[in-house]
């Protein structure tokens, strides 16, 4: 292969490896494909068939002479899904995946791996099939963990009978402003000194 071919030429080894990883990451998030694999629509070797599709797409990008057309990629994916899994994905996901892969390929040609990096950093826990159900749970766990702690503590406070709170800390008299005019409010929970 002539590596000196510039413009829409072949991918470098590094770019090819990155694109291969990107295809794997996209496939891992492709719910319809993951369902086909998990439910063995393509028989016992469904996982191998999905991997083979990824390898075929990578080979198409790396070894076929460009330009690479969106319609060709969509047709290739549809044909493989139909033959390998005896299925037709009519949810628009084939088109979405093809578009994502073409963008990724263009970026790899310019040694730009930002979309692959983004996918790598937003790795989904669990499998893609349950991803749609888990996404709200995972997001809340990750981003609101400090809020959850506060909510739990507030619930504890509300559930605590008032008599116990009176025992824990004396009822404060009316807060008095200090020399600078600031009013010190005692902590709501039993944290710190009373």
Q: What is the pLDDT of residues 80-106, one digit of tens each?
A: 999 999 999 999 999 999 999 999 999
Q: Are 128 and 29 in contact (CB under 8 A)?
A: yes
Complete DSSP assignment for 28-69:
HH-HHHHHHHHTTTT-TTHHHHHHHHHHHHHHHHHHS-SPPP
Q: What pTM was computed for the model?
A: 0.60
pLDDT at residue 151, rounded to an integer: 47
| Mean pLDDT of the region 56-78 | 93
Residue 148 DSSP class: H
What is d(CA 55, CA 168) in angstroms, rounded to the nearest whole number?
Answer: 66
**C-alpha–C-alpha distance, residues 194 and 189, integer Å:** 10
Radius of gyration, CA atoms only, the chain: 28
């Amino acid at each position: 292969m002539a590596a000196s071919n510039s413009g829409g030429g072949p991918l470098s080894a590094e770019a090819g490896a990155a694109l291969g990883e990107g295809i794997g990451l996209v496939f891992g998030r492709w719910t319809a494909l993951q369902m086909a694999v998990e439910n063995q629509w393509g028989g016992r070797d469904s996982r191998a068939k999905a991997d083979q599709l990824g390898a075929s797409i990578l080979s198409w990008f790396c070894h076929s002479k460009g330009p690479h057309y969106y319609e060709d990629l969509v047709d290739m994916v549809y044909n493989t899904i139909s033959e390998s899994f005896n299925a037709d994905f009519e949810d628009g996901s084939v088109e979405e995946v093809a578009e994502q892969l073409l963008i990724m390929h263009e970026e790899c040609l310019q040694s730009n791996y930002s979309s692959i990096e983004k996918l790598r950093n937003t790795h989904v826990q669990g499998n893609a099939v349950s991803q749609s159900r888990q996404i709200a749970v995972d997001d809340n766990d990750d981003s609101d963990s400090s809020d959850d702690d506060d909510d739990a503590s507030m619930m504890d406070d509300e559930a605590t009978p008032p008599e116990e709170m009176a025992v824990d800390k004396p009822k404060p008299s009316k807060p008095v402003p200090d020399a600078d005019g600031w009013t010190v409010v005692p902590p709501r929970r039993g944290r710190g000194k009373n």
